[in-house]
Structure 1
Amino acid sequence: MGVPFEALLPYGIVLVMFGVSGVGLSKLRHMQNGGKRPRYAIDQWDRVMMDRDRRLTGYLRGQTDRVAAPAGFEVNNPWRVEERYF
């Protein structure tokens, strides 16, 4: 006895929507990384270097080959300082 194809339509729709959302999230993550592959097992050194790259280029995964830092980088301190109460 055959199964009517109308009974399989909801399963097909759900499968297609899972595929579309997976591809969309993958593309979004790819765009957020500046077109680079995602990084895994990021340790403290990698976080420091990624923060430095973000301060230099404006992008978390951006890198530059310029020898001199851009103007304003000398006052761009990554340390968070407490607010003073006077």
Structure 2
Amino acid sequence: IPETPDFYAALINDKRVVRVVALSGGYTRDDACERLAKNHGMIASFSRALAEGLKRSMSDDEFDEELGDAVDEIYEASTVKV
């Protein structure tokens, strides 16, 4: 995820480009989503950030809730830009 918001805007707006996908880059999920939300036209590929917070000791319900929250946060950062 670029440090400068919309750093790849010219690339994203090029008619030959279908998608520009961001990796979470070792940031926490919260930080990665905050940065992603500042980059219009960029979507997430956050496999590591998606799994952040999941623990083997969780009940099925806790696991489902944590995973659902992660999906919602990453989806929002991909679709709702600031």
- Which has the greater radius of gyration? 1
Higher share in helix: 1
TM superposition score normalised by structure 2: 0.27
Give 1 or 2: higher strand fraction: 2
